[in-house]
Structure 1
Amino acid sequence: MRQAADPRQAIDPRQAADTRQAIDTVFRIESPRVIAGVARIVRDVGIAEELAQDALVAALEQWPRDGVPDNPGAWLMATARHRAVDLVRRRETYARKLREIGRDLETTAPFEEPADPDDIDDDLLRLVFTACHPVLSAEARIALTLRLLGGLTTAEIARAFLTPEPTIAQRIVRAKRTLAAKNVAFEVPYGPERAARLGPVLDVVYLVFNEGYAATAGDDWLRPALCEDALRLARVLSQLMPGEPEVHGLTALLEFQASRTAARTGPDGEPVLLKDQNRRRWNRMLIARGIAALDRAGAASTSASTSASTSASTSGAPGPYALQAAIAACHAHAHSYEETDWASIATLYGLLAARAPSPVVELNRAVAVSMAEGPAKALEIVDALAAEPALRDYHLLPSVRGDLLARLGRTAEAGEELARAAGLTRNARERQLLLDRLKSLPGA
């Protein structure tokens, strides 16, 4: 008698592929929340990440057969949390903690976002501050949090850092080991310790937003979930630390940047550059929030300069994030690309370069100078950056240089630079944009 076929073998390959893609997308979005929620149980971010990966494996085994759950994020959280509770149970050294929290965890409803987005009792915020603990180097803090909070791969983090991938991988592994060895508490710190750890936290939130705003790799130009998480955390921090100018500066910057989201892609998801964006699609509410946050940054900076604050922001001068927010405000106030106050933007970039010098800031300053003083002056700045090791594989350097050469009528050289930029980028949408610009050159 012929046996019935195993139903798991009857899965439509196309359906299975679609399900795997859905799982990958869901996990990319939900993994930070899953890791943060599980870390609260096991008190170890490395183990929490492993348990989140275990939940992903379970999804890969079950969802193609049973279908994607109605609430996939809650499914992943529940699966990872149950495994975390089992792990705690198996460890005799966690017996006391298990008596306190084990029963509650088994009966708690699936994980949900806090009802109040400004509630500081937030596992994601705990995760950021834990990963930014001073026992880690600044580079390790940012890399680890981008990995855990942003869900970025090691390769994507390396791209964001302009750093070799093996270096980033080693930083992440060592960071998790150090946190475990030092028994770092999974908590939001208070008092002077919070202020001391603020700078790396702001850097992390900014880089997570940046990865969502212009993805370094993949088929999508935007990853809105990363932008939303980063903006929410910035708003939380602004409530948590109202006297810190740079917290408000970062919040203002992200509000301004997020206001352009709807205008940054076309009907098919293709990138739309700033000069070509329909500014009527910019979110005026977010712009208003950005202006208000920038005002708070100025007020907090003035207050800090006249008080005996223990914060690092005591000089009264705008910090790097407040300066970037002021640049974004110039764009927000302009009714068109041509009406933008490029002279002010170039000046602000000069202040930013003095306060937080970097080749990327200098490259951005060159773009503003090109609009304020012409492409020839800007090309001098860009050419001076050619020898910078950090920009050797940075696609925006040849991209900017190609545009400047095109405006100067040096078409052949411009084409070479745009082709080089297209070869360097790992984002499919951005590569196509660069190739389209290459094709549009006269005589191409």
Structure 2
Amino acid sequence: MSGTDAAAPRDPEPPGSAGVAASDRLLASVVREESARITAALTVSFGSFDVAEEAVAQAVEEALTAWRTRGIPPKPGAWLMQAARHNALDRVRRERVLRDRVLTDSALRRGPATGAEGGPADERLPLLFGCCHPALAPDAQLALTLRAVCGLTTAQIARATFSTETATGQRISRAKRKIAESGIPLRVPEGPDAAARLDLVLTIVSVMYNEAHFVAGADADADRDLADDALWLACVVADALPRAAEAHGLHALLQFHRARESARSVDGELVLLADQDRARWDPALLAGAHTALERAARLRRPGRWQLHAAIAACHADAADAASTDWLQVLTLYDMLLAYDRSPVVRLNRAVALARVEGPAVALAEVDELEQPLASRSHLWHAVRASLLRDLGRDDEALAADLRALELTANEAERRLLNGRVAR
């Protein structure tokens, strides 16, 4: 029996784009919720992450075609599970390494696992930590997470990470080979390295969210599917690790950012925070962000993601840009430096510093970041141009804006910078 025979479909949707769109929407939802669970279960059952991940990816591709033409099955998650299991069995049989424990499928019939904190484990979490293992290169961590945990196809990952399908496929294959050859465990770490590993996972989720924005050659609209995947994944981690304050901090941060999305991008144009129509901000997401941040604060384990979220809360709580408590924002950035002294954090701090102590003091701070940022960051040049313009150094500001233009490929950002240059 083929994977597409795993469950009897419902009566097909009426032909046409509406039925296809409904099928694709449901598949995207099922993949997000179930693909990582299935991959984790098949990894346990077959003893191979590579076999499991390939089987699930093939099942997703099969579902994309089958559900469009034959209709949505009555139990979509079970359909995907059985299709993936058949794919795995086919591969194992071809390779003549089928094991007795696969035939009995005992692993799939076991009761729920127990998490590191005593509650039921989310089987997606060990998979996520395995994909984000420090032995893997950062680009491989991101690609493998998008594939194995979020269920994206190679083509989708290539688009999301501005790469080619060939390069993306090779990156994923190398990462899976590294996991197999190095014996990288698919488990949630415990003990002294747990906090550092969690921070790495949260960083990858944050990078995923950032990758959804400022796409080369595109307008200001974010890749909403990728942004939503990142927000969903942050929620999965926070729910699975209820006493991990930093997980709640990142969940809060991404909700604050997502709440502003409809005001940040209007008709394909980028609108800076100071100019956004705050009535367009999503009140439900803002409320959820505050709840997550308060939950983190009650745990009394401060960290960088909570401070990032607290800074975002300062902007969210201001009735308008002029009402922003910049002294509080600067104070939070000063606290953040104890956890993260990266050039980007220091650049963002300089923007707050300009509001509190003036553009001259801030410009001195920005100029100290020339070596790490000037050759690669259009934002460094754009911030510097704004400060120079505030100081009346218009010729230098124009030169800085022109250099920022050279370094950005996003069309909305280019139009924004061109507007400054033309003034």
Q: Please indicate, yes or no, whether the TM-score normalized by the shorter chain is above 0.5.
A: yes
User: Residues 346 and 169 of structure 1: is their aligned pair in 2 closer, same or farther, counting only changes over 3 Å?
Assistant: farther
What are the ranges of 5 or more consecutive residues in structure 2 without an aligned counterpart?
1-19, 110-118
> Displacement, 1:365?
0.8
Assess if the C-alpha contact under 8 Å between 1:132 and 1:141 holds in 2: yes
User: Residues 291 and 217 of structure 1: is their aligned pair in 2 closer, same or farther, counting only changes over 3 Å?
Assistant: same
Assess if the C-alpha contact under 8 Å between 2:270 and 2:416 holds in 1: yes
Partner residue, 2:278: 279
Partner residue, 1:239: 239
Partner residue, 2:379: 396
Show CA shifts across 1:325-350 (max 9, x none): 11011001100011101121122112
1:94 is aligned to 2:78: no
Partner residue, 2:258: 258
- Tell me which of 403, 419, 434 is aligned to 2:402: 419
Partner residue, 2:295: 296
The separation in 1 between residues aligned to 2:104 and 2:419, in whole angstroms, is 61
- Tell me which of 304, 318, 343 is aligned to 1:359: 343
> Displacement, 1:168?
10
1:41 is aligned to 2:46: no
Q: Which moved more, 1:355-364 or 1:69-78?
A: 69-78
The separation in 2 between residues aligned to 1:141 and 1:222, in whole angstroms, is 22
Show CA shifts across 1:241-269 (max 9, x none): 22222122212212222221221111x23
- Tell me which of 369, 372, 379 is aligned to 2:353: 369
SS for the counterpart of 1:237 is helix
Show CA shifts across 1:211-246 (max 9, x none): 23x244352531222222222222232232222221
Partner residue, 2:412: 429
1:320 is aligned to 2:304: yes
> Displacement, 1:285?
2.2
Partner residue, 2:9: none
The separation in 1 between residues aligned to 2:196 and 2:396, in whole angstroms, is 48
The separation in 2 between residues aligned to 1:78 and 1:398, in whole angstroms, is 53
Assess if the C-alpha contact under 8 Å between 1:34 and 1:80 holds in 2: no
Assess if the C-alpha contact under 8 Å between 1:146 and 1:204 holds in 2: no
Assess if the C-alpha contact under 8 Å between 1:142 and 1:200 holds in 2: no
- Amino acid corresponding to residue 289 of structure 1 in structure 2: G
What are the ranges of 5 or more consecutive residues in structure 1 without an aligned counterpart?
1-18, 106-118, 160-166, 302-312
The separation in 2 between residues aligned to 1:238 and 1:392, in whole angstroms, is 37
Partner residue, 1:16: none
- Tell me which of 84, 88, 91 is aligned to 2:88: 84
Assess if the C-alpha contact under 8 Å between 2:32 and 2:229 holds in 1: no
- Amino acid corresponding to residue 386 of structure 2 in structure 1: D
Show CA shifts across 1:347-395 (max 9, x none): 211221232111000111111112222222222111111111x552122
Partner residue, 1:15: none
Show CA shifts across 1:32-74 (max 9, x none): 97577456435655556656776798899x79xx978876998
> Displacement, 1:190?
6.7
Assess if the C-alpha contact under 8 Å between 1:147 and 1:154 holds in 2: no
Counterpart mapping for 1:9-408 below 5 A: 37-38=38-39, 40-41=41-42, 44=48, 82-101=86-105, 124-133=124-133, 135-136=135-136, 141=141, 144-145=144-145, 149=149, 174-187=174-187, 197-212=197-212, 214-220=213-219, 221-266=221-266, 268-301=267-300, 318-388=302-372, 392-408=375-391
> Displacement, 1:176?
2.5
> Displacement, 1:81?
6.1
Alignment: residue pair count:
380
- Amino acid corresponding to residue 198 of structure 1 in structure 2: L
User: Residues 30 and 412 of structure 1: is their aligned pair in 2 closer, same or farther, counting only changes over 3 Å?
Assistant: farther
- Amino acid corresponding to residue 305 of structure 2 in structure 1: Y
User: Residues 44 and 271 of structure 1: is their aligned pair in 2 closer, same or farther, counting only changes over 3 Å?
Assistant: farther
The separation in 2 between residues aligned to 1:219 and 1:325, in whole angstroms, is 27
The separation in 2 between residues aligned to 1:377 and 1:169, in whole angstroms, is 47
The separation in 1 between residues aligned to 2:245 and 2:33, in whole angstroms, is 27
Q: TM-score, normalised by structure 2?
A: 0.72
Q: Which moved more, 1:87-96 or 1:137-146?
A: 137-146
Q: TM-score, normalised by structure 1?
A: 0.69
The separation in 2 between residues aligned to 1:382 and 1:286, in whole angstroms, is 33
State the Cα RMSD in Å: 4.3
User: Residues 438 and 365 of structure 1: is their aligned pair in 2 closer, same or farther, counting only changes over 3 Å?
Assistant: same
User: Residues 147 and 34 of structure 1: is their aligned pair in 2 closer, same or farther, counting only changes over 3 Å?
Assistant: closer
The separation in 2 between residues aligned to 1:173 and 1:32, in whole angstroms, is 24
The separation in 2 between residues aligned to 1:39 and 1:132, in whole angstroms, is 15
Q: Identity of aligned pairs, percent?
A: 41
- Amino acid corresponding to residue 91 of structure 2 in structure 1: L
Q: Which moved more, 1:169-178 or 1:417-426?
A: 169-178
